[in-house]
Structure 1
Amino acid sequence: MTQQTTAPAEPTAATASGGAVTLTGISKTWGDFTAVQPLDLTIPEGSFFALLGASGCGKTTTLRMIAGLEEPTSGTVRIGDLDATQLPPHKRPVNTVFQNYALFPHLDIYENVAFGLRRRGIKSVKKQVEEMLELVELGHLARRKPHQLSGGQQQRVAVARALINRPKVLLLDEPLGALDLKLRRQMQLELKRIQTEVGITFVHVTHDQEEAMTMADTIAVMNAGRIEQLGAPADLYENPVSTFVANFLGQSNLIEATVSGTSGGDLLLSGIGEGSLAMPAARCAAPATSGDKVLAGIRPEKISIVHADDAAEVPDGRNRLTGRIVDASFIGVSTQYVVNSPWCPELAVFSQNVERDSRLAPGAEVVLHWNPAHTFGLDAAQDIDAGTGEAAA
């Protein structure tokens, strides 16, 4: 059943100066099952923060503990300087927007947005409601009923109804999951615009990597009740610290290799195939020395692909592998290749469709090459498939 937490009356909200959220030793268990391992987390005031992970990772449970909809097994929840751990939802300076918008079907949009103010006994609501409808660009639809709006418009009404109560923190639990792809992408930009304009803390739960990276200033990648990695989207993407993050956030080629030496600031790697690869030592998640096993990671879009007949055109100093195309998929903006190489049986390569080479088809012998600086290193003791569909199956 969908619930909507309501912002507290003015005096309680005023006790929480600032909208930072601080979780200390927070955990949640049900019997023998641990949904959230004890974790510490600080969500900066005024930020757009995303909890990202697959179903069952603990992200929604964490959000619900912030909202007061789940009682922590251990730990504390602070919102600003207010200890909210024992407070019921309606006394916390937060509002929650769920995937099912829970709009009142018998009320028009104006009255849906005004509901929270009227519930608190505020008589004069016109100015605040109009300002909020202007923020979400729905003022011209104020007298329509929810069923007369699109899914994206209904979502914006739900956000306006939550924000009009002036919460310190807005919690969003998979708010775009019911929308189609094109509308979801549009709403990602809308939510980011709204958050920037109002300047309050947004905490967003999602399983959609692109959604998190589009909107969030900071992402916490969750796995099995723990935070696997925390950071800015670009940093998580470029410098994953685990195979789970490398595979879950986008797509990675992970190549099993052995450190065979060093050259300047690079580690030299040997594998099953001929030649060697280079990888910056500074981009290894764990220190590695000669003889250590590592997983060399490279994102598919950072690899260039040429037909074997053009191998001489590959610039010196590039990492290079030979292989054979086993699959090619045209998806408009790019062609996605799967290449079988002695180093790795299924290397993914994304090539922009600028000047397509008709020779690059299944069965063709090719050379893959990339800048060594784009290679990152992970501990080979990890599950190479963690974070992929194969690992979850």
Structure 2
Amino acid sequence: MARLELKSVSKAFGAASCAKGVSLAVEPGEIVAVFGPSGSGKTVLLRMIAGMFEPDGGDILVGGRSIVDAPPERRGIGMAFQNFALFPHMSARDNIASGLRATGAGDIAAKVAAMSRLLKIEHVLGHRPRELSNGQKQRTALARALIGNPEVLLLDDPLRNVDAKLRYEMRLELPSLLRRNAAAVLYVTQDYREAMAIADRIAVLINGRLVQVARPEEIYARPASVAVARLFGDPSINLSEVMPVAEQGRMTAAIAGTQIRLDADELPSNTRCWLGVRPDDVMVTRQGGDGAIPARTVAVTPIHERAVVLLRFADGSEWLAALAPEALEAGPDEDVFVRFAPNAALLFDHATGDRIGLPARRQAA
């Protein structure tokens, strides 16, 4: 198998720039999720690799060989689309076999049978797309992408159009299935949970630029910027403007008039920052004391196994806390105190939004 490498790849359509000097390498057998908001350039990036679009600048290499001038069928790339893109007049069997027939491969029937067993769709091989469920369509499209043993596999949000139950199941199944193929996998998604569950590394793309590439737990614990921090976590990260100061050998900052200790010895004093705390790290209690911020509960919303609490501080600013129901000591419209561990806080430069170095935090729950 071969390594996929992007070197300063750029693409624009008129005044709209979709890729701005993107550089990224994916090793054989590695799954890299390209994650970002809608319109950030994720699909355009995949289509340049596949040969549907030609980059304006930079290079794309597979196994150390440039493929920019190679036709799509000669790139050694498999691709599964968000909308499945199955041929409506063909059976599932013929859809899966279509790529093999185009390249003149042999023993097509045996290969289709083996791949369909692997993906558990052998019982619907004779059905046309209109007779398949979305889950069966998704597996058929994946089988078509995998069957030629491509060196590089591109998956464009393949689980977006399937139901929640199947999406959860495929998040568990896909990593082992993809690693069995040993291709370099680039997996586009707009779902941060999916990216964290499936990928070995996540490449965060915002406005056509890669802003952070790291392992999922690293991106959650140490996001490179406020923009990245906001993309990971539900509810989103709490942010407050602070001016940390050094006092008696320790760093503190005031939130709604309450001084909070921070684990940030390297931070220059009197620097305007954004302080971020994830709702999972916020504790709501009736006990006051040092570092306890007075607040009032505005609303309590049960979400799955957690209760999300909207809190309002004395200065009018609001935070969210995500708690296990048994840990919630108050209902709506009650006076409480908010706490968080010093190492749960993230600090970001107020002007640039870039993260300021902090001790490692816990991994995502």
Aligned-partner Cα distance in 2 for 1:304–1:228: 31
Paired letter, 1:377 = L
Q: Deviations over 1:47-72 (max 9, x none)?
A: 11111111111111111111111111
Match of 1:361 in 2: 331
Aligned-partner Cα distance in 1 for 2:332–2:350: 30
Aligned-partner Cα distance in 2 for 1:343–1:201: 51
Q: Match for 2:88 among 100, 105, 127?
A: 105
Q: Does 1:260 align with 2:211?
A: no
Aligned-partner Cα distance in 2 for 1:342–1:221: 36
Secondary structure at the residue paired with 1:281?
coil
Match of 1:324 in 2: 296
- The equivalences for 1:201-220 within 5 A come to 201-220=184-203
Q: CA deviation at 1:355?
A: 5.3
Q: CA deviation at 1:213?
A: 1.3
Paired residues of 2:149 and 2:181 also in contact (CA < 8 A): no
TM-score by length of 1: 0.84
- The equivalences for 1:78-93 within 5 A come to 78-93=61-76
Paired letter, 2:310 = V
Paired letter, 1:88 = P
Match of 2:357 in 1: none
Q: CA deviation at 1:152?
A: 1.2
CA-based RMSD of the aligned residues comes to 2.1
Q: Does 1:139 align with 2:109?
A: no
> Relative to structure 1, is the Cα distance of residues 136 and 175 closer, same or farther in structure 2, using a 3 angstrom cutoff?
same
Q: CA deviation at 1:143?
A: 2.8
Q: Does 1:281 align with 2:281?
A: no
Aligned-partner Cα distance in 1 for 2:74–2:316: 55
> Relative to structure 1, is the Cα distance of residues 80 and 324 closer, same or farther in structure 2, using a 3 angstrom cutoff?
same
Paired residues of 1:325 and 1:339 also in contact (CA < 8 A): yes
Q: CA deviation at 1:27?
A: 0.4
Q: CA deviation at 1:294?
A: 1.4
Aligned-partner Cα distance in 2 for 1:93–1:214: 26
Paired residues of 1:50 and 1:218 also in contact (CA < 8 A): yes
Paired residues of 2:256 and 2:293 also in contact (CA < 8 A): no
Match of 1:300 in 2: 279
- The percent of aligned pairs where both chains have the same amino acid is 32
Q: Which moved more, 1:165-174 or 1:347-356?
A: 347-356
Paired residues of 2:8 and 2:58 also in contact (CA < 8 A): yes
Q: Deviations over 1:312-354 (max 9, x none)?
A: 6xxx7xx532200112111231110110114671101000123
> Relative to structure 1, is the Cα distance of residues 51 and 262 closer, same or farther in structure 2, using a 3 angstrom cutoff?
farther
- The equivalences for 1:340-359 within 5 A come to 340-342=312-314, 345-354=317-326, 356-357=328-329
Aligned-partner Cα distance in 2 for 1:104–1:31: 32
Paired letter, 1:258 = M
Paired residues of 2:297 and 2:309 also in contact (CA < 8 A): yes
Match of 2:288 in 1: 311
Paired letter, 2:288 = A
> Relative to structure 1, is the Cα distance of residues 262 and 149 closer, same or farther in structure 2, using a 3 angstrom cutoff?
farther
**Structure 1: 4+ residue segments shifted above 6 A:** none
Q: Does 1:176 align with 2:148?
A: no
Q: CA deviation at 1:89?
A: 1.2
Q: Does 1:375 align with 2:354?
A: no
Q: CA deviation at 1:262?
A: 5.7
Q: Deviations over 1:177-221 (max 9, x none)?
A: 222333322222232231132222211111111111111111111
Paired letter, 2:140 = V
Match of 1:40 in 2: 23
Query: Is there any run of 5+ residues in structure 1 with no aligned partner, and where?
Result: 1-17, 385-393
> Relative to structure 1, is the Cα distance of residues 217 and 263 closer, same or farther in structure 2, using a 3 angstrom cutoff?
farther
- The equivalences for 1:378-389 within 5 A come to 378-382=348-352
Q: Which moved more, 1:179-188 or 1:75-84?
A: 179-188
Paired residues of 1:271 and 1:343 also in contact (CA < 8 A): no
Q: CA deviation at 1:383?
A: 6.2
Secondary structure at the residue paired with 1:245?
helix
Q: CA deviation at 1:366?
A: 0.8
Secondary structure at the residue paired with 1:131?
helix
Paired residues of 1:20 and 1:46 also in contact (CA < 8 A): no
> Relative to structure 1, is the Cα distance of residues 117 and 296 closer, same or farther in structure 2, using a 3 angstrom cutoff?
same
What number of residue pairs does the alignment pair up?
Answer: 352
> Relative to structure 1, is the Cα distance of residues 44 and 62 closer, same or farther in structure 2, using a 3 angstrom cutoff?
same
Aligned-partner Cα distance in 2 for 1:323–1:20: 53
Paired residues of 1:269 and 1:278 also in contact (CA < 8 A): yes
Q: Does 1:238 align with 2:221?
A: yes
Q: Does 1:24 align with 2:3?
A: no
Aligned-partner Cα distance in 1 for 2:283–2:273: 23
Aligned-partner Cα distance in 2 for 1:91–1:120: 9
Paired residues of 2:256 and 2:313 also in contact (CA < 8 A): no
Q: CA deviation at 1:161?
A: 0.9
Aligned-partner Cα distance in 2 for 1:214–1:91: 32
Paired letter, 2:257 = G
